[in-house]
Amino acid sequence: MSRTDTGAPEQVAGNTPTDPDRHRRGLTERLLAVRELSLLIALGLLVLVTTVRNDRFLSGQSVKDLLLGCAILVILAVGQTLVIVTRNVDLSVGSILGLVAFATGSLFLSAPGTPWPVALVVGVALGALCGVVNGGLIAVARVPALVITLGTLYAFRGVDYYWASGRQINAADMPSSFLRLGNQTVLGVPVLFLVALVVVAAVGYYLRSYRSGRELYAIGSEPAAARLSGIAVGRRVFAVFVANGALAGLAGVLYAARFGTLDAAAGTGLELQVVAAAVVGGVAIFGGSGSAYGAALGAVLLTTIGSSLAVLRIDPFWQQAVVGALILAAIGLDRLLALRVAARLRGRSAHGA
């Protein structure tokens, strides 16, 4: 079977793909490759313009801060990609991050000798448990994920506030070895960003190389047809919510290591940035196309925009305006790409007739 980031698997339940199917996937794959290249070009131009105005923008410390700033968003955007390609969305990731971050600090506070790898495993497990709640409610209630995760956004945040009870956990309450994880570098590259790269590579490889990963695109393209072709749609959707929760849990632990000071408000509003990063990165909000690599580029681009505007001393209001414009442009481009592929397929069919 060939590998593709953008379409349904070539063989599902023993079906053999037709030539139009192959042609459609080829067209979509090329168009999305161009889109990811355009993101790289936009990112390069943004860095160039900012550097011309302030040459310290590419100093070692500035680059380190930029990579640290985008690492957590990259992890969350990649997890969100798994959900969005199945024609769903998870609005609770910011609350999951905040809950796991506070739980991590509380663990160190109550058991000071806890090794940080244990805290990492506990945080990922707690995030996965939140994903189980989301996936289970969606599977049982058969209610759109938007509604369910909007509810769990407030539910998880409420648990966090009840647990915190106004308390704040400080860096002094956590081991120095754990806090070093948040700022340590390897050959000048922050460890947090290296972790994010591993997540991007792993998820990207899974979506491209595994049949279950390619089936997610089939589900997002047409859930009813995917179910008829033998794909366990409910099980796959449940699994992606668990995986997304686990990645949000990982991000929560890294957030605790990065910032040190924790309270119940950690991660508030982050879910909108996560969805924006995925959409700007080429993940179609209507499901069925996109890649982990594009979502990661979207997260880096949004983080760079924020840093650039600060360096250029532009009103922060324009950051939100620019992000909004990028989202609208991304949705419009998704529609344009879909129409272009459909037109080429119609032309090919007419020529063949």
pLDDT tens, residue by residue, 211-225: 998 999 999 888 888
Please report whether residue 39 resides in a domain: no
How confident is the model over 101-105, as a mean pLDDT? 94
- pLDDT at residue 337 in the model: 66
- pLDDT at residue 6 in the model: 44
Please report whether residue 18 resides in a domain: no
**11 has a pLDDT exceeding 60:** no
Domain that holds residue 255: 64-332
Lowest mean pLDDT among 82-86, 246-250, 282-286: 282-286
Please report whether residue 50 resides in a domain: no
- Counted domains in the chain: 1
Give 22-65 pLDDT, tens digit per residue: 544 555 555 556 677 778 888 888 888 888 888 788 778 888 88
**1 has a pLDDT exceeding 50:** no
Mean pLDDT, all residues of the chain = 84
Please report whether residue 77 resides in a domain: yes
Please report whether residue 323 resides in a domain: yes
Q: Which residue has the higher pLDDT, 324 or 268?
A: 268
Alpha helices in the chain (DSSP H): 19-53, 60-84, 93-110, 116-141, 145-164, 176-181, 191-209, 211-221, 223-228, 233-259, 270-280, 292-311, 317-352
At a CB cut-off of 8 Å and minimum separation 6, what does 42 contact? 301
Give 128-147 pLDDT, tens digit per residue: 999 999 999 998 888 889 99
Please report whether residue 45 resides in a domain: no
The rounded distance, in Å, linking the Cα atoms of 328 and 335 is 11
- pLDDT at residue 4 in the model: 43
> Closest Cα to residue 260, out of 168, 190, 163, 158?
168
Please report whether residue 113 resides in a domain: yes
The rounded distance, in Å, linking the Cα atoms of 130 and 117 is 20
Q: What percent of the chain has pLDDT over 70?
A: 84
Give 117-131 pLDDT, tens digit per residue: 999 999 999 999 999
Q: Which residue has the higher pLDDT, 171 or 12?
A: 171
- pLDDT at residue 332 in the model: 73
Q: What is the pTM of this model?
A: 0.85
**341 has a pLDDT exceeding 80:** no
Please report whether residue 15 resides in a domain: no
- pLDDT at residue 284 in the model: 85
Give 199-208 pLDDT, tens digit per residue: 999 999 999 8
CATH of the domain at 117: 1.10.3470
